[in-house]
Amino acid sequence: MTMINDNNEYASYWLNSSKISRYPEITKDMHVDIAIIGGGITGITTAYVLAKKGLTVAIFEATTVMNGTTGHTTAKITAQHGLIYDEFIQHFGVENAKLYYEANRLARNQMEKWITTLGIECDFQQEDAYIYTNDSNYIDNLKKEAEAYKSIGIEGGFVEDIPMDIANQGAIVMKNQARFHPVQFLTHLLQEIKEMGGEIYENSVATKMEEGNPSVVHFRNGNKVSANYVISASHFPFHDDRGFFARLHPERSYVVAGKPEKEFTGGLYLNAEKPTRSVRAVTIDGEELLLFSGDGHKTGQGKPEIEHYEALEHWASKHFGVKEFKYRWSAQDLISLDKLPYIGRQHKDNPNIYVATGFRKWGMTTSVVAAHIIKDLIMDKPNRFAELFSPARFQADPSLKKLIKENVNVAANLIGGKLDRPDKEIKDVANGEGAAITYKGKRAGAYKNEAGELFVVDTTCTHMGCEVNWNSGDNTWDCPCHGSRFSYTGEVVEGPAEKPLKKIEVE
């Protein structure tokens, strides 16, 4: 096992340690009952619950299944999604905060039930989840959250100390949460879907959709799929006819794995203050290691990405005596304006188009919430959680101020990036380095590999024209506006962009 995969990128332990079947590319036009675009945890669990109800499903994945955020998660299964319950009570009222908790609690239990009844070997382990602080300024926040737990009826509350051996001044605990190996879990569900007659396609990029009855999804290779229902489980919605780009922002986070020097007594941990530090145990090659994650930031913005890995590793070495890191990887998730995911009918005009996104780095349970809401809506069954998560809630947007702020941030990057003329030129870029440069009077992006081979691209993002920035942690060009990512040769690594960056031939 290695920290680097065949494409010379940092590898995720989950993907590296699993035997994953490969699926064919779509090669002909076809009709399906339910087309699910995206093969991450959202697409797979939704396909599974629909197939179990006897419906015919087909998953279409742009790259390979689970290779998006799902394959690069930290895989805590919990309803403890940061310090949110007090905030949700203030914003949405206690009944809605309770519904959010209930939906995620039931999702956690459903996942355990699937694992037990289907006999899935995926290192599922029940754990208590803690948010701790070593900063006295946060004690009040923890105590308010404890009050919120009480009003909602969450098992747990404020505790003076945590089992993990680290300095702290108190914590809030949520009992009986869990952790698992997400790729082993989902690989099993994929097999079940196949056995129930579901179809799975990889390397099949959906590019646009003509809405109708049925709707027609177009793929990059020219094939078309007509479907009675279309579910956008593509992380950033592949068909953005209602301005999701203005209502979601991407944030990256980093994960490293290493063996601690001292004994770890179990539990899932998150600190209350910034930068975020998350800890959980994982068994790799028969040894108990710890996964440390955090150091999140808006994609394509802030300090060089490599420094985020270094900061996490420094912290893990200082507090847990980790000497060697076996894995490091990073990924991004999407955050909605009011911190609630968008799950349900994409818009009112067509009851057959569905979306699930905006999981705010807590998609292990919220994807399962989404699977059940979408299944019930398609089957015309009542679902008591549907209204809370409905994407339509933005027609009466309570967070208009935030919408404006997000768009100002995008506009600043759009305009600021265009005017930028970096001081660097091609000759200033060292081997193994990437940087924004000025070439022929315009902003461009240059990367030189270790052998000195040069790759130059136009840094204008092909989604909506913001300027991409170099990601030194993953050797990619990342867009600060909606999180598209491109390889150093300009190929799309992650949408919403669909077209590669223009290559520049250097004379």
Ligand X SMILES: Cc1cc2nc3c(=O)[nH]c(=O)nc-3n(C[C@H](O)[C@H](O)[C@H](O)COP(=O)(O)OP(=O)(O)OC[C@H]3O[C@@H](n4cnc5c(N)ncnc54)[C@H](O)[C@@H]3O)c2cc1C
Q: Is 68 in the site for ligand X (CB under 6 A)?
A: yes
Of residues 11, 26, 61, 342, which one binds ligand X by CB under 6 A?
61
Binding mask 73-112 for ligand X (x = CB under 6 A): xxxx------------------------------------
The least distance separating ligand FES from the CB of residue 26, rounded to whole angstroms, comes to 25
Residue closer to ligand X, measured from CB, 365 or 460: 365
Tell me the window of 428-436, 450-458, 459-467, 498-506 that interacts with ligand FES (CB under 6 A): 459-467
Tell me the window of 57-65, 218-226, 428-436, 460-468 that interacts with ligand FES (CB under 6 A): 460-468
The least distance separating ligand X from the CB of residue 444, rounded to whole angstroms, comes to 27
463 binds, among ligand FES, ligand X, none (CB under 5 to 8 A by kind): ligand FES
Tell me the window of 36-44, 222-230, 421-429, 464-472 that interacts with ligand X (CB under 6 A): 36-44
Sign of CA dihedral 186, 64, 370, 145: positive
Q: Is 417 in the site for ligand FES (CB under 6 A)?
A: no
Q: How far is CA 358 from CA 38, 197, 388, 438, 502, in A?
A: 14, 30, 14, 36, 29
User: Angle between the 139-152 and 85-92 helix axes, to the nearest 10 degrees?
Assistant: 60
- Tokens in use for 163? 């089992």
Sign of CA dihedral 80, 86, 89, 95: positive
Q: Is 463 in the site for ligand FES (CB under 6 A)?
A: yes
Q: How many CA atoms lie within 13 A of 329 on its CB side?
A: 26
Residues β-bridged to residue 75: none
Residues β-bridged to residue 132: 171, 271
Cβ contact 59:198 at 8 Å? yes
Tell me the window of 170-178, 231-239, 408-416, 467-475 that interacts with ligand X (CB under 6 A): 231-239
Q: Cα–Cα distance between 82 and 439 in angstroms, integer?
A: 44
Q: Is 361 in the site for ligand X (CB under 6 A)?
A: yes
One-letter amino acid at 411 equals A
Tell me the window of 37-45, 260-268, 432-440, 477-485 that interacts with ligand FES (CB under 6 A): 477-485
68-100 core/surface letters (b: 16 or more CB in 10 A; e: else):
bbbbbbbbbbbbbbebbbbbbbeebeeebbbbb
The least distance separating ligand FES from the CB of residue 497, rounded to whole angstroms, comes to 6
- Tokens in use for 12? 């995720």
Of residues 18, 67, 168, 460, which one binds ligand X by CB under 6 A?
67
Q: Is 464 in the site for ligand FES (CB under 6 A)?
A: yes
Binding mask 478-497 for ligand FES (x = CB under 6 A): -x-xxxx-----------xx
Phi and psi based region of residue 54 (left: phi greater than 0; alpha: psi -120 to 50; beta: remaining): left
Q: For residues 216-275, which are near ligand FES according to CB under 6 A?
A: 245
Q: Cα–Cα distance between 414 and 481 in angstroms, integer?
A: 8
- Tokens in use for 246? 């203005």
293 binds, among ligand FES, ligand X, none (CB under 5 to 8 A by kind): ligand X
| Chain positions contacting ligand X, by CB under 6 A | 37-43, 60-63, 67-70, 73-76, 205-206, 233-235, 238, 253, 255, 293, 331-333, 359, 361-365, 367, 495
| Chain positions contacting ligand FES, by CB under 6 A | 245, 461, 463-466, 479, 481-484, 496-497
